[in-house]
Amino acid sequence: MEGLLFLAHRIPFPPNKGDKIRSFNLLRHLSTRYAIHLGAFVDDPDDWQYRDALKPYCASIKLLPLHPRRAKLASLVGLLSGEALTLPYYRNRELARWADELAASGAVTRGLAFSSAMAQFMPKNLARRVLDMVDVDSDKWTQYAPTQRWPLSWLYAREGRKLAAWEARVARDFDATLLVSNAEAALLQQRAPAAQHKIGAFENGVDAEYFSPARDYPNPYPPGVQGVVFTGAMDYWPNIDAVSWFAERIFPAVRAAVPGAQFTIVGSHPTEAVLELARQPGVVVTGSVPDVRPWLAHAACAVAPLRIARGVQNKVLEAMAMARPVVASAQAAEGIRAEAGRDFTLALGEAEFARAVVARLQSVSTAAPARDCILAHYDWARNLSTIDPLFEQATVVPPILETCPA
């Protein structure tokens, strides 16, 4: 088998959060065609234990520690160099040397960089170089800026501009650049018109057998509770903003109409701001749980009240796979190939969100069409197969539909 260099900004295991779900499935798929040489950072000490879990998919593994606090300080070099702070945040001479040595020896002839930050390590002398940018991260920083006070507002706006320039540059340099949805791909095409023909998308997938509503899950909610659930990593700013907005501005109206409602925030590493939300009546913060499926299976509805978002929200796909009614903001629904009003409920603004959640709590229906949509369009094997030609010839992933066909 030919060798492929796979570079990821975070160890692609366990697949328990958005980027790691995508990177692990991509790694597993490519390992059936290539001898994978994996280089990745470990930013959570608990993740070191998973090195052995990756061995069946890799010919060699290079894991390096990344200490977020130190990396943030190191990233400030970008203020002097004029580059996006994201690049020095991840910069690492040892990883760069390892990648260059693999390429020089002929051990790898192709490469996949997962996230724009990892493009800086990809040797230029490989036969094919593919970048899975996933999201246009620069736009996320631009969205962050107006939510913060100076100097963070200035810093985030600067990061948005500088990272956008880097994204356009690497899209021109790589043989193909992939994103998670048509909307993300279209945005990058606008920003990098010279690389338009090399930019495409492949959708995420969902393990529909794992996220199956047919199993008998234990009920984690107290008797008489009507669960409203949010799932996600709770040290991620868009998720923090989403649950804070929902708990403080929307849920009180929901609970006034449905006294038995409980808003449960399920996810690892909750910040102090998230933990404080549990002081409000009817709000529960679980922290990390061994299995999110019981919380989804027995919830009356799942909510995705994101106001800042990029790409496709796995939390929405997983709730749909579990045939749970989902109430989502426009930002959370963007890029998902599903039909509002049939597969999920789209809510714009606080009052509309509250009314939509109350309506779901007062209904006993499931969301069978949503699961049908997942089964039809979010299969990992089928979606990943579209990228195989990119390592052999100059093509892009074919356009994808915006909604599930009726």
User: Cα-flanking dihedrals φ and ψ of residue 384, to 5°?
Assistant: -70, -30
Q: At what angle do helices 314-321 and 368-377 cross, to 10 degrees?
A: 120
Same domain, residue pair 164 and 195: yes
Residue 247 lies in a domain: yes
Residue 270 belongs to domain with CATH number: 3.40.50.2000
- Can you give the residue range of the structural domain that contains 268? 226-377
Residue 161 belongs to domain with CATH number: 3.40.50.11720
pLDDT digits (tens, 9 = 90+) for 292-315: 999 999 999 999 999 988 778 899
Q: What angle do CA 52, 55, 57 make, to 5 degrees?
A: 140
Same domain, residue pair 129 and 190: yes
Residue 82: how many CA atoms within 13 Å on its side-chain side? 1
Residue identified by tokens 């051990």 is 107
Residue 250 lies in a domain: yes
Same domain, residue pair 148 and 165: yes
* Residue 393: predicted pLDDT: 62
Structure tokens at 147: 């939510």
Angstrom distance (rounded) from CA 250 to CA 243: 10
Same domain, residue pair 167 and 313: no
Same domain, residue pair 238 and 340: yes
Q: List the one residue out of 137, 136, 154 whose CA is nearest residue 145.
A: 154
Angstrom distance (rounded) from CA 23 to CA 41: 13
Same domain, residue pair 151 and 270: no
Same domain, residue pair 112 and 181: yes
Angstrom distance (rounded) from CA 54 to CA 42: 13
Residue 212 lies in a domain: no
Residue 109 lies in a domain: yes
pTM: 0.87
Residue 398 lies in a domain: no
Residue 97: how many CA atoms within 13 Å on its side-chain side? 4
* Residue 16: predicted pLDDT: 85
Same domain, residue pair 353 and 385: no
E strand or H helix at 101, and its extent?
Answer: helix 93-105
* Residue 398: predicted pLDDT: 45
Same domain, residue pair 109 and 230: no
Q: How many domains does the chain have?
A: 2
Report the 10 Å Cβ neighbour count for 342.
15
Q: List the one residue out of 112, 121, 135, 113 whose CA is nearest residue 18.
A: 135
Residues in the chain predicted with pLDDT less than 70, given as ranges, are 364-367, 393-406
Same domain, residue pair 166 and 85: yes
Angstrom distance (rounded) from CA 116 to CA 93: 17
Same domain, residue pair 145 and 244: no
* Residue 366: predicted pLDDT: 63
Same domain, residue pair 123 and 26: yes
Q: How far is CA 309 from CA 167, 231, 304, 358, 405, in A?
A: 18, 15, 10, 24, 25
Cβ burial of 196 (10 Å; 0-12, 13-18, 19+) is middle
